[in-house]
Amino acid sequence: MSFIQDDNIPNGLYYIQNVSRKSWIGLPQPQKELCATLSPVHGWRITLKSNNKYDIQSCPGGFFAQCEPRPKAGNFLFVQPEHFEWVVKQVSEVSAPDCYWIYPSENPRVMWSLRDSEESTPIEFALIESNQKNWWMFKLAHDDEPDPFITNPGAMTGLVDQLQNANIEDLAQTRANIVSPRFLVLLSTPTHPPAVRLMPNPPTPHSAPPTAGGTPGSSGRLLHPNKAARNDPSLSRSLPPQINPPRSKYRWLERDLEGKHPAYRHERLASSFHVHALNLSAAGYLEEASESIEKAVQIRRHIAKHYSEISQRNLVSSLIVQSRCLGDSGRPAEALSAAEAGTTMHRKIGNNEPERSDPELAAALCALAEARRRMCKRVEAIDAAQQSVRIFRILSNTDHETYSPNLATALRILSCCLRDIGRFDQAQREIQQSVDIFDEHPGSYETDLADALSIQAGLLYYQYRGQEGLNLVRRSITLYQFLPQMFKPGLVKSLIVLADLQGQVGYVDEAVTSIKDAVRIQEELASENPTAHNETLGGCYITLSIRLSGLFHMTDALEAAQNSVHIFRSLVSQCDKAYKAGLMDALGNLSNMLLVSNPVRIQEAVNAANEALKIWQVLEVYAGNVDDFFKEGACACDAMARSEALNRKPGLSLNLVTTSLKHYIYVSASNPKAYSWFLADAYNEQSG
C-alpha cells in the first residue's frame, strides 16, 4: 500500500487513516455509523465525479458515506444506499501533500474528525481548524484484494439469521439491521466521469383485485417499474433506456427478501426519494425537492394501505417533508393540505407514549403551524405552534442536547405567528429564547441563528428600538455572507430588515442602498423560480418604495409601489387566501405614494385604498377574527382617510381615522412599546 499525494484523489479502493490518531475508518457490521478501527480492514472506493466531488463507498457493502441534510459540528457520519457528494481537499501541496480534509459541499465549515483513538469511536464533524485530528490520509489498496465477506463465510451466518427472522416492519423502518445488496456504481475509466445510474419513476399502484395472473390488476403485489412498463405502455415512456448493471454478489439475498416481502423494495425506493428530497431542499433546489418527495408520498400511500403502523409512520414523515417543500416552493395551499393530512394521520395512529412526549407529533405540528401561517389562518397557526413548543419544551427538559434545537425552531415559528397578528412583545420573548438556544451551539446552526436574528431585529423595528435591531441584523447578514449561495433568500430578508431599521434611525441613504441590494438579489432568484420567490420580491418593492420616498425620489417610489401591486395581483390569482394580505399592504402603500406624487393623483389613491379596505373585510370573514388583521386594516384605514381628506370628504376621513385609532388603542393596552408610535400617528391624523 502507498500514500496518495495528488491534488485530486484518483479513482480506486483505499484505506483511510486519521493523521493524528493513527486509526482507520471502518464500518463493522451490522451498524451503519462510520467509526475508528485499529487496523485497515474496511476499504472505501473513491470515485471522482465530473463536478470535482467524490463518492465515498464502503467495501464490502457498497453503501455511500452520508450525513444529515444540514450538517453541523458533532453530527456522526453514516452510510446509505443513495449517492452523496463530498469534497476532498489537499491540506497543503508543500508541507502536507499526503493529508486531506473531507467535508460536505453544503457546509465547508465542518469536516470529518476523530476525537480519540479508541476502537469504535464514531467519525464525526468538527469545525475547521488546523488540528490534525481533522486530517486524513489515503492508502491505496488493490482491487484484487479479497473481500472480507468472501474470505470469511462465517461472517454471513448472523446476517442470514437476521433475514430469516425479520419482518417487513423491521426492514422498512431501518436498514441498519441488514446488509442490503451491494449497489455497485457503473465504473468508467479514470479519465472519464463515472456513469450515472438513472432512477425510474415509482410504480403505479393497482387497485384491481388479485388474481392468479401477472398483469396489472391481476396481482396483489407491487410491480417493479420495468415489469409494470411492459404490461402498461403508458409507463414505458417515463423509463430510462435499459441498463444492465453488474450483478450483486448478494443478489440471492435480495431475491429472497423481495420474494417474501414485495413491499420492501418499494419502501426502499420511497426512502431514497425521501432522502433525496431533503438533500435537494437543503441545496436550494425547491421544485426538484417537491417532485422527489411527491414520489415518496405516492409509494408510501400505497404501502400504508396494506401494511402496518410503521408504514403509516413513514408516510407521515414524508407528508411533513412534502409540506415544507411545497411551502418553500410557493404552493401554500398544497402545503397546508399535506401538513393537515400528516398531522391527522399521526393522531389516528396514536403512540404508546402520551402526546406531551411525542417528538413526531411536535414536528408535524410545527409544519402545520407554518403552513397555516402562510395561508393566513393566523389564530389556528398560533394554536399549532404553541402545542409544538409545549411538547418540545418537555422533551428538552429531559434531553436538552437532543431536543433543544427542535425547541428553538418551534419557538421561531411561534414568534412569526405572533408577529403576524401584531403581538410584538410576546413574539420578542419567544424569539429571544430561540436565539439563546441556537447560541448554545456555536457553528452548528448558523442558518437557523441568522434567520432568528433577522426576525428579532424586525420585531425591534416595530418596537421603535432601531439601534438595537441594527446590531442584530448586521450579525445576521455577516452569518449569511459566509454561507453557501443557496441561502440567498435568507440574506434578502435580512437586508429588508436592515433597510427598515436604517430608515428608522435616520440613515436614509444607507437604507436605499441596502434595499436596492435586496431587490437585485431577489430579482435574480425570482427570474429562476418566480413561484417560490415572487412574494418576497413584492415585499422588497414595498420597502424600496418607502425608502425612495424618504429621499423624495417620488417617480421611482411610485414605480416600485406599482411593481409590488402587480406582483401580488399575480400571486392572488394563483392562491387568493395566501396572498391577499400582501396585496392589501401593497395597495395601501400605493395609495400613499399616489398622494405624494407630482401631480397628486387623488382618485387613483382613493381607489387603491378602497380596494385595500375591501380585502380587509374579506380577510376578517375568512379568518373569523377581526383582530387577526387589525394592523393591516388600520394601515388601510389610514391610507383611505388621507385620500378622502384630500378628496374634500372630511367627515368620511374622520370616521376612518377614528376606526384606525380604536384599533391602536385596543392593542396598545397589551403592547405599549410596540404601538405607542402608531397610536401617536393616528392621533395626529385625527387632529389634522
Asked if residues 178 and 163 have their Cβ atoms less than 8 Å apart, the reply is yes
Q: pLDDT at position 654, please?
A: 54
SS3 readout for 635-662: HHHHHHHHHHHHCCCHHHHHHHHHHHHH
**Residue 124 bridge partners (DSSP):** 76, 113
Question: pLDDT higher for 207 or 603?
Answer: 603
Considering only 60-69, 151-160, 411-420, 646-655, which range has the smallest mean pLDDT?
151-160
Q: Are 574 and 619 within one domain?
A: yes
Average pLDDT value for residue range 545-572: 91
Residues 307-321 have pLDDT tens digits of: 667 778 888 889 999
Is 232 within the bounds of a domain?
no
Boundary (domain end) residue, out of 469, 492, 524: 524
Q: Scan for cell 431577489, then name that residue.
A: 522
Q: Scan for cell 441498519, then name that residue.
A: 176
pLDDT band with cut points at 50, 70 and 90 for residue 617: confident
Is 215 within the bounds of a domain?
no
Please provide the average confidence, as pLDDT, over all residues in the chain.
Answer: 75
Burial call 173-197: b when 16+ CB within 10 Å, e when fewer: eebeebbbbbbebeeeeeeeebeee
Question: pLDDT higher for 62 or 162?
Answer: 62
Q: Are 46 and 83 within one domain?
A: yes
Residues 375-433 have pLDDT tens digits of: 888 888 999 999 999 999 998 998 888 889 999 999 999 999 998 887 888 899 999 99
Q: Is the dihedral of CA 681, 683, 685, 688 positive or negative?
A: negative
pLDDT exceeds 70 at position 240: no
Average pLDDT value for residue range 460-478: 90
Q: pLDDT at position 336, please?
A: 92
Query: What is the C-alpha to C-alpha distance for residues 565 and 639, in angstroms, rounded to an integer?
Result: 15
Q: pLDDT at position 666, please?
A: 56
pLDDT exceeds 60 at position 180: no
Boundary (domain end) residue, out of 480, 500, 524: 524
Is 56 within the bounds of a domain?
yes
Percentage of the chain modeled with pLDDT above 70: 69
Collect all residues with Cβ–Cβ distance below 8 Å to 466 and sequence separation of at least 6: 460, 501, 504, 505
52: left (phi over 0), alpha (psi -120 to 50) or beta: left
Asked if residues 580 and 618 have their Cβ atoms less than 8 Å apart, the reply is yes
pLDDT band with cut points at 50, 70 and 90 for residue 194: very low
Is 67 within the bounds of a domain?
yes
Q: pLDDT at position 658, please?
A: 60
Cα 543 off chain centre by = 26
Domain that holds residue 147: 2-161
Q: How is residue 112 written as a grid cell?
A: 470529518
Q: How is residue 597 written as a grid cell?
A: 406624487
For every residue of 537-549, DSSP letters joined together read HHHHHHHHHHHHH
Q: Is 684 buried (19+), middle (13-18) or exposed (0-12) by CB count in 10 A?
A: exposed
Q: pLDDT at position 206, please?
A: 36
Average pLDDT value for residue range 493-516: 93
Q: List the one residue out of 493, 476, 447 whose CA is nearest residue 283.
A: 447
Asked if residues 616 and 582 have their Cβ atoms less than 8 Å apart, the reply is no
Q: Are 503 and 544 within one domain?
A: no
Q: List the one residue out of 449, 451, 431, 452 whose CA is nearest residue 439.
A: 449
Is 568 within the bounds of a domain?
yes
The model carries a pTM of: 0.60
pLDDT exceeds 60 at position 168: no
Is 414 within the bounds of a domain?
no
Is 279 within the bounds of a domain?
no
Q: pLDDT at position 241, please?
A: 39
Q: pLDDT at position 537, please?
A: 94
Half-sphere exposure of 78 (CA within 13 A, CB side): 17
Q: DSSP letter for 176, please.
A: G
Q: Are 507 and 549 within one domain?
A: no
Collect all residues with Cβ–Cβ distance below 8 Å to 321 and sequence separation of at least 6: 274, 277, 278, 281, 293, 296
Q: pLDDT at position 210, please?
A: 37
Q: What is the CATH number of the domain that holds 495?
A: 1.25.40.10
Q: Are 34 and 147 within one domain?
A: yes
Q: pLDDT at position 406, please?
A: 92
Asked if residues 325 and 290 have their Cβ atoms less than 8 Å apart, the reply is yes
Q: How is residue 22 written as a grid cell?
A: 493513527
Q: Are 684 and 541 within one domain?
A: yes
Is 102 within the bounds of a domain?
yes
- Round the CA-based radius of gyration of the chain to a whole number and report it: 29
Q: How is residue 284 written as a grid cell?
A: 436550494
Question: pLDDT higher for 414 or 348?
Answer: 414
Q: Are 606 and 506 within one domain?
A: no
pLDDT exceeds 90 at position 367: yes
Collect all residues with Cβ–Cβ distance below 8 Å to 128 and sequence separation of at least 6: 101, 103, 108, 109, 110, 111, 134
Question: pLDDT higher for 408 or 482?
Answer: 408
Q: Are 41 and 129 within one domain?
A: yes
Q: What is the CATH number of the domain that holds 15?
A: 2.80.10.50
Q: Are 514 and 658 within one domain?
A: no
Q: Scan for cell 457546509, then name that residue.
A: 107
Query: What is the C-alpha to C-alpha distance for residues 356 and 18, in angstroms, rounded to an integer?
Result: 43
Q: Are 129 and 91 within one domain?
A: yes
Query: What is the C-alpha to C-alpha distance for residues 197 and 245, in angstroms, rounded to an integer?
Result: 9
Q: Are 142 and 124 within one domain?
A: yes
Boundary (domain end) residue, out of 138, 161, 184: 161
Q: List the one residue out of 210, 228, 227 whose CA is nearest residue 219.
A: 210
Q: List the one residue out of 496, 526, 527, 525 whose CA is nearest residue 513.
A: 496
Q: pLDDT at position 25, please?
A: 94
Q: How is residue 334 written as a grid cell?
A: 398544497
Considering only 223-227, 382-386, 558-562, 581-585, which range has the smallest mean pLDDT?
223-227
Residues 79-138 have pLDDT tens digits of: 988 888 999 998 888 878 889 999 998 788 889 999 888 888 999 998 866 788 999 999
Q: Are 102 and 77 within one domain?
A: yes
Cα 563 off chain centre by = 29
Q: DSSP letter for 209, please.
A: P
For every residue of 595-648, DSSP letters joined together read HSSSS--HHHHHHHHHHHHHHHHHHHHHHT-GGGGHHHHHHHHHHHHHHHHHTT
pLDDT exceeds 90 at position 596: no
Torsion, Cα 361 362 367 372, to 10 degrees, reads 100
Considering only 161-170, 430-439, 601-610, 628-637, which range has the smallest mean pLDDT?
161-170
Q: How many domains, in total, are found in the chain?
A: 3
Neighbours of 654 (CB within 10 A): 16
Residues 26-81 have pLDDT tens digits of: 988 777 889 999 888 888 999 998 888 999 998 877 788 999 888 888 899 999 88
Q: List the one residue out of 349, 430, 419 whose CA is nearest residue 388.
A: 430
Q: What phi and psi, each to the nearest 5 degrees, are found at residue 179?
A: -100, 110
Collect all residues with Cβ–Cβ distance below 8 Å to 253 and sequence separation of at least 6: 159, 163, 179, 181
Considering only 358-362, 375-379, 640-644, which range has the smallest mean pLDDT?
640-644
Q: Is 355 buried (19+), middle (13-18) or exposed (0-12) by CB count in 10 A?
A: middle
Average pLDDT value for residue range 245-259: 45
pLDDT band with cut points at 50, 70 and 90 for residue 633: low
